[in-house]
Amino acid sequence: MSRQIYISGKFVPQEDARISVFDHGLLYGDGVFEGLRSYRGKVFRLREHIVRLYESARAIWLEIPMSQEAMQGAVNEAVRVNKIDDGYVRLVVTRGAGTLGLDPNRCSNPQVIIIADAISLYPQELYEKGLEIVTVSVQRTSPAALSPRIKSLNYLNNILAKIEGLQAGCIEALMLNHKGEVAECTGDNIFLVRRGLLYTPPLDAGILGGITRDAVIEIAKDTGIEVRECALTKHDVYVADECFLTGTAAEVVPVVKVDSRTIGAGKPGPMTCDLEKRFKKLTQE
């Protein structure tokens, strides 16, 4: 199905949605993006995604040429004109066309692109049986090199980790940070359950501040579960009672095996299933 793509301030058929080969988003991965989800035509946590986008842009000295309110309006419009009920929205802001040099000052026209489309999900079986993941040798970028808080168009770090995971037969891979602590997966945050408490690495472990992560922390606290954001090691993962991942596309997905070790009882645990259910309910509100 041909989609209507928002680009340069208007909607055009996807065949006509083009950017310059001189765009630094393409040449250098110089830009930022968001992945959002719509449920029954309503974009989940739209404001939070927009705030993260503008913070990512600010961190790379990229001025987005429209207000946050106008951006929210454009995302809603993209969902509406493409008649998306349950779907996915990709929001991209590139540095714009420049010269064949790094200097972003030569790029005068940042491009805002919004694609609203169907969503590709993990197979349902994985939610019922749980996921197997592996720890990969590719470290998450050190915040001193490029902050993982910035959702930039340069995802090579995660892509290399993903390839290593896929080569080991796993669709998600666990990345450690420069200190050897648990950071996050290639496109998802990680949570552990141990003796009734919920654990997740803190933002300063060098991770993306996931919107789903925030929602799950909120839900857990509202349910009376104690949440600890603290440094975690691979050992903590191996001895956890439960493990799950969170992300816009994945929502809450149980993990039952890490590095060939069975986690907990080897099936999705009770707290994971409960949070999964509560999160789903939140998306339908």
Q: Which residues of the shown chain bind ligand PMP in the complex (CB under 6 A)?
A: 35, 158, 184, 187-189, 208, 210-213, 246-248
Rank residues 110 and 247 by Cβ distance to ligand PMP and give the closer one: 247
Q: Which of 10, 151, 221, 280 is catalytic?
A: 151
Nearer residue to ligand PMP within complex by CB, 189 or 200: 189
SS3 content of the chain, % helix, strand, coil (to 5): 30, 30, 40
Find the radius of gyration of the CA atoms of the chain: 19
Nearest in space to 216 (alpha carbons), one of 203, 198, 241, 233: 198
Q: Which is nearer to ligand PMP, 65 or 218 (CB)?
A: 218
Q: Are 201 and 193 in contact (CB under 8 A)?
A: no
**CB 196 → ligand PMP: shortest distance, Å?**
24
**What's the CA gap between 83 and 113, in Å, rounded?**
18
Instruction: Return d(Cα 178, Cα 175) in angstroms, integer.
Output: 10
At its nearest, how many Å lie between ligand PMP and the CB of residue 265? Answer: 26
Concerning whether 280 is annotated as a catalytic residue, the answer is no
Shortest CB 60 distance to ligand PMP, Å: 16
- Nearest Cα neighbor of 231 from 211, 202, 260, 251 is 202
Number of Cβ within 10 Å of residue 54's Cβ equals: 19
The total of other beta-carbon atoms located within 10 Å of residue 256's CB is 23
Q: Measure the CA–CA gap between 130 and 199, rounded to whole angstroms.
A: 19
Please state the closest distance from residue 174 (CB atom) to ligand PMP, in A.
11
Q: Nearest approach, Cβ of 208 to ligand PMP (angstroms)?
A: 4
Q: Which residues contact 123 (CB under 8 A, 6 or more apart)?
A: none
Contact 48, 211 (CB under 8 A): yes
Judged by beta carbon, residue 38 or residue 189, the one nearer ligand PMP is: 189
* Closer CB to ligand PMP, 94 or 152, in the complex: 152
CA distance 161 to 44: 28
What's the closest the beta carbon of residue 56 comes to ligand PMP, in angstroms?
11
133 or 211, CB closer to ligand PMP?
A: 211
Among 257, 255, 256, 246, which Cα is nearest to 279's?
Answer: 246
Phi, psi of 270 (to 5 degrees): -65, -40
State the catalytic residues.
Answer: 151
